[in-house]
Amino acid sequence: MKKLVLFDIDGTLLTPSKSHKESFNLAIMKVYGVRVDVSSLSLPGMTDRQIIFEALRCAGKDDHTILKGLKDCEYALLEFFAKLSTFEKLKTLKGVRYSLEALRREGVILGLATGNLEGIAKIKLGRAKIGSFFRVGGFGSDHYDRAEILRIALERARNLFGRINKAIVVGDTPRDVESAKRVNLPILGVATGKYSTRELLEAGADCAVNNLKEGLPFLLDR
């Protein structure tokens, strides 16, 4: 019986990163010459590409112009983040390490489904020393839409490990919940980000915990 858990990163595995936010402002300025402040957007659960699009749309840029600079902007985002984040302490949230170790011992395949660009995800997890737990993933550099990122992660897992009998998603925002529902995967909401267990359940999460110390209740066994 092969089981897969796909984790979001920010607010689920790690504390949110200030330098990631700052890197958007710097990368957008460098590539598009526009001053933006991404903190004015409702960021939780947005993919990196969505953040670039939304920030520039708010600054009056059309999608054609945004698309033309997108690859350069993503490259600049990764470069700024690699530099700025060296001064930032990225911490795992409560119960994360415990939970990852327990799942790995049980033979569960651990994966990622994150809006972070792949390079940024890898830097973050490496700095927090949990990168080696994850064997597969879907990233913000794969797609604009979080549901598509989940589909891609699932497909990669099937290509690598064969038939997956049970897959669940773990995330901290209503956007994670909504995307899991769109691809018909059960989701555990974890209230270590900006949202409470109640808000996550109201958004449609199959189950919610205060933190991962409480484990991944029964969703994997259903």
Q: Give residues in contact with Mg ion (CB under 5 A).
A: 8, 10-11, 172
Closest separation between CB of residue 112 and Mg ion, Å? Answer: 11
Beta carbons of 205 and 193 less than 8 angstroms apart: no
Residue 8 — φ and ψ, nearest 5°? Answer: -75, 165
What's the min distance (Å) between Cβ of 109 and Mg ion? 21
Q: CB 29 → Mg ion: shortest distance, Å?
A: 25
Residue among 31 and 123 whose Cβ is closer to Mg ion = 123
- Closest to Mg ion by CB, 3 vs 124, is 124
CA separation for the pair 198, 207 (Å, rounded): 10
Residue among 10 and 206 whose Cβ is closer to Mg ion: 10
C-beta neighbour count of 136 within 10 angstroms: 21
Smallest gap from Cβ 173 to Mg ion, in A, equals 5
Q: How far apart are CA 137 and CA 152, in angstroms?
A: 8
Cα-based distances in Å from 35 to 43, 68, 78, 193: 18, 18, 18, 27
Between 66 and 96, name the residue whose CB sits nearer to Mg ion. Answer: 96
Q: How far apart are CA 158 and CA 89, in angstroms?
A: 34
Please identify, using beta-carbon distances, which residue of 20 and 61 lies nearer to Mg ion. Answer: 20
- Give whichever of 56 and 179 is closer to Mg ion, judged by the CB atom: 179
| Minimum distance from residue 21 beta carbon to Mg ion (Å) | 13
Nearest to 140 by CA among 108, 90, 179, 101: 179
Q: What are the backbone angles phi and psi of residue 42, rounded to the nearest 5°?
A: -85, 90
CB nearest Mg ion: which residue?
11
At its nearest, how many Å lie between Mg ion and the CB of residue 190? 9
Backbone angles phi, psi at 51, to 5 degrees: -65, -45
